[in-house]
């Protein structure tokens, strides 16, 4: 049985705790190590490691733990918006006691190479079960799409409602399906005249809308080819 590590590097803990809700399904597939289960160890190897929370790049302790997990894990998954695209922590600006130097929080991919990134605040935990199935070759026909999308997201440094507006809605690619509106965990999107509109003061930069949008996902998947001039 494969080994799975779950580690939070200073997020709100909402992601690791929501993963507990699917622990029985996970334990049918992998052996789980986490702080919540009391069996955490960073001195052994893992097949899969899930990191939640973003990287405070001003705290050596955090960046060294992330590097260590990368060394120990064959496959590294950034789980949740903070870990995958920065999320709410992109707004952090430091200056707060007792550690005012904790200023900049970035996605895990800013520190190490990440294999798959799943945005969501928090993501529906069954996504993790599905991703593991896909990685183990048991995810069915959607596996390839699933894996290629989330590995592409791992290359993005930010995804948010602002990007959805810029890249899809305002550039005329939007088909008005409303998937983004339904997916937004902050209810920051609503339909106006058949197209989504962003209420900017509600957007927490979680990126959920972008990975739910049928057009944005295609854009993400094709961007490497597009940037090489191949269409």
Partner 1 sequence: MEKRELERIGGEAEFLVLAKEGIVENAYFISTAPVRGFERLLKGKSPIFALQAVMRICGICFSAHGIASVEAIEEAIGILPPPNGRNAREALGLLNRIQSHILHLMLLTPDLVEDDGRIMYREIELLNKISNLLQKLGGAPTHPPFLAIGGVERLPEEGELGRMVENLRELKEEFLSIRKDLLNCADGSDALATLREKEYAPSFLATHLFYGDRYNLDMGVVETLHYHEFRGEDAPEEAKTSTSMVALYRGRPVEVGPRARLSLYRDFSDGSLWGLQAARMEEVPMAVDRVIRLIEEIDPREPCKTERLVFKRGRGIGVYEAPRGTLIHKVALGPEGRITDYQIIVPTEFNIPHMEAACRGLPAGMADLVPRIYDPCIPCATHVVEVGKSV
Where does this chain bind partner 1 (CB under 8 A)? Answer: 8, 10-18, 20-21, 23-24, 27, 35-38, 40, 56, 58-59, 61-62, 87-89, 91-100, 102, 105, 121-122, 184-188, 199, 201-202, 204
Q: CA neighbours within 13 Å on the CB side: how many for 91?
A: 10
Q: In whole angstroms, how close is the CB of 178 to partner 1 at the nearest point?
A: 16
Residue 197, token pair as written in the block:
């509109």
Closer to partner 1 by CB, 61 or 155: give it.
61
- In whole angstroms, what is the distance from residue 161 CA to residue 87 CA? 11
Q: In whole angstroms, how close is the CB of 103 to partner 1 at the nearest point?
A: 8
Residue 157, token pair as written in the block:
């440094």
Closer to partner 1 by CB, 120 or 139: give it.
120
Closer to partner 1 by CB, 155 or 202: give it.
202
Closer to partner 1 by CB, 15 or 127: give it.
15
Residue 98, token pair as written in the block:
């007792």
Closer to partner 1 by CB, 75 or 92: give it.
92
What contacts 225, CB < 8 A, 6 or more positions away? 231
- In whole angstroms, what is the distance from residue 114 CA to residue 30 CA? 20
Q: In whole angstroms, how close is the CB of 132 to partner 1 at the nearest point?
A: 18
Q: Estimate the crossing angle of helix 143-153 against helix 126-135, to 10 degrees.
A: 110
Torsion angle of alpha carbons 119, 125, 129, 135, nearest 10°?
Answer: 10
Q: In whole angstroms, how close is the CB of 173 to partner 1 at the nearest point?
A: 26
Q: In whole angstroms, how close is the CB of 92 to partner 1 at the nearest point?
A: 5
């Amino acid at each position: 049985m494969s080994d799975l590590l779950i580690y939070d590097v200073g997020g709100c803990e909402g992601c690791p705790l929501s993963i507990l809700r699917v622990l029985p399904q996970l334990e049918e597939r992998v052996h789980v190590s986490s702080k919540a289960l009391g069996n955490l160890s960073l001195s052994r190897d893992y097949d899969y490691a899930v990191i939640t929370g973003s990287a405070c790049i001003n705290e050596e302790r955090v960046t060294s733990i992330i590097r260590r997990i990368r060394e120990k894990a064959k496959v590294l998954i950034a789980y949740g918006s903070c870990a995958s695209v920065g999320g709410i922590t992109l707004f952090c600006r430091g200056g707060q006691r007792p550690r005012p130097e904790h200023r900049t929080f970035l996605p895990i991919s800013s520190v190490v190479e990440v294999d798959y990134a799943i945005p969501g605040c928090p993501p529906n935990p069954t996504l993790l079960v599905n991703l593991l199935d896909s990685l183990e070759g048991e995810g069915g026909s959607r596996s390839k799409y699933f894996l290629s999308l989330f590995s592409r997201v791992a290359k993005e440094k930010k995804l948010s409602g602002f990007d959805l507006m810029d890249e899809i809605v305002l550039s005329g690619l939007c088909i008005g399906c409303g998937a983004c509106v339904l997916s937004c965990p902050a209810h920051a999107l609503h339909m106006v005249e058949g197209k989504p509109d962003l209420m900017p003061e509600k957007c927490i930069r979680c990126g959920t809308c972008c990975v739910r949008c049928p057009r944005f996902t295609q854009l993400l998947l094709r961007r490497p080819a597009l940037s090489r001039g191949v269409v």
